[in-house]
Structure 1
Amino acid sequence: MIFALGLAGCSTSGSNADDPNSERAQQTAEAQKRITASELTAFCPTVTIREGTSVLTSYGKADKTPENLVFQASISNQTRSCQSNDTTMTMNVAVAGKIVPGPKFAPGTITVPIRVAVIQGTDVLYSTLHKQAVSASDANAATQFVFNDSAVSFPKPTAQNIQVFIGFDEGPETASKGKSKPK
């Protein structure tokens, strides 16, 4: 008898789980609208840390010796997500990195130059140099940071021939558009 009463308490009669107007049903429907199968299988260019740009070393005003090292920054991971319409692809590009203090390190805000560039053949479709501020307060431990550029936008490619590069760049603010590659 107790077992039967326990089962009766588990009954789903009167539940709104099957009601299409219930809050849960509406949340499920909204989630299903957000991502379509074509979006899951759509082309989203990979992000590559450009060779020679994964490490940034800063020295004091003296010689570039280990004793004069202020900090060394490095990029360790990268990721991206893509959205597109009939004419434009927009990417959110992100990297994770860390700053390791050196003997001449002083706690404070360190600004690291990070460039995001989109290349199609020899054409530069997008190139932006960001100044990422990182608060580093511990002279005895590495400080991790995350950077993202959510506004990477360019004409939707008709072929899978897009390269996306990211890395530290101490070069000029702007890269020329057209037939050159960013540094």
Structure 2
Amino acid sequence: MGKTSYNRSAFHQVFAMALVLTAAGCTTKGDGSGTAGSGLPSTSGEQKVKESELTAYCPNITLREGTAFFNTYEKGGEKDNARIIYQAAITDVTRACQYAPGTTTMDVAAAGKIVPGPQFKAGTITMPIRVVVQQGDAVLYSKLHKHQVSVSNPSSATQFVFNDRAISFPTPAQKDIQVFVGYDEGPYNTK
């Protein structure tokens, strides 16, 4: 357990650092010196972040009850713990927003782990992860992803990161957008 906690902690630190470095690379000093906010030389084409972008609305992400966990069983062994192939869990979510006139584009990320079950077999597994953006009762975006992860060790958890970078919707006049991420066990003939 100690090793898993260390790996999870290290994963979160690396993930957080990547987000911080990405954000730092997008800012410049207001003195026109052309150096990035981190003190590194800027690249050509880098744009300054406007105050309106820093204070802009970027909707939070919610995991609906029952969608943070996903179990896969041997055929015919549903709900039998002795026949679980693997258990997957989404443990963290984050997002970033970009703005264009009248449009908000989101990058949604979810991090999690896959734990081998009694019937585990090494290979590539496919997890059904759905991202939904709603404004009131209106669905602005819904996509089911079949996220694949390679798993090989039957005695420890495998960590994964999922991203959906293609979320775009009209910038709302009010802060009334809801974003949901979670496992969706079907039906799969939906959008």
> 2:177 aligned to 149, 162, 166, which one?
162
**SS of the residue 2:182 aligns to:** strand
CA RMSD of superposed structures (Å): 2.7
The corresponding residue for 1:46 is: 60
Q: Larger C-alpha radius of gyration, 1 or 2?
A: 1
1:174–1:86 distance in 2 versus 1, CA, 3 Å: farther
Q: Distance in 2 between matches of 1:62 and 1:172?
A: 18
State the shift of 1:92 in Å.
0.1
State the shift of 1:155 in Å.
1.1
State the shift of 1:34 in Å.
3.8
1:171–1:21 distance in 2 versus 1, CA, 3 Å: closer
State the shift of 1:172 in Å.
3.0
* Count of aligned pairs: 158
State the shift of 1:143 in Å.
0.4
Structure 1 segments of 4+ aligned residues over 4 angstroms from their partners:
28-31
The corresponding residue for 1:61 is: 75
Q: Tell me the amino acid that sits aligned with residue 37 of structure 1.
A: E
**SS of the residue 1:27 aligns to:** coil
Q: Distance in 1 between matches of 2:184 and 2:97?
A: 24
Conserved 8 A contact 1:128-1:174: no
TM-score normalised by the chain length of structure 1: 0.78
**Bigger shift: residues 72-81 or 56-65:** 56-65
The corresponding residue for 2:151 is: 136
State the shift of 1:175 in Å.
4.6
**1:58-100 deviations in whole A, cap 9, x for unaligned?**
1112433221110000000000000111221100000001100
Alignment of 1:35-114 (within 5 A): 35-63=49-77, 64-114=79-129
1:111–1:160 distance in 2 versus 1, CA, 3 Å: same
1:34–1:150 distance in 2 versus 1, CA, 3 Å: farther
Q: Tell me the amino acid that sits aligned with residue 73 of structure 2.
A: Y
Gap regions ≥5 residues in structure 1: 1-19, 177-183
Conserved 8 A contact 1:127-1:174: no
**1:32-71 deviations in whole A, cap 9, x for unaligned?**
x342221111000001112210000111124332211100
Conserved 8 A contact 2:34-2:42: no
1:142–1:157 distance in 2 versus 1, CA, 3 Å: same
Conserved 8 A contact 2:96-2:106: yes
Gap regions ≥5 residues in structure 2: 1-32
Q: Distance in 2 between matches of 1:169 and 1:65?
A: 20
**Bigger shift: residues 117-126 or 61-70:** 61-70
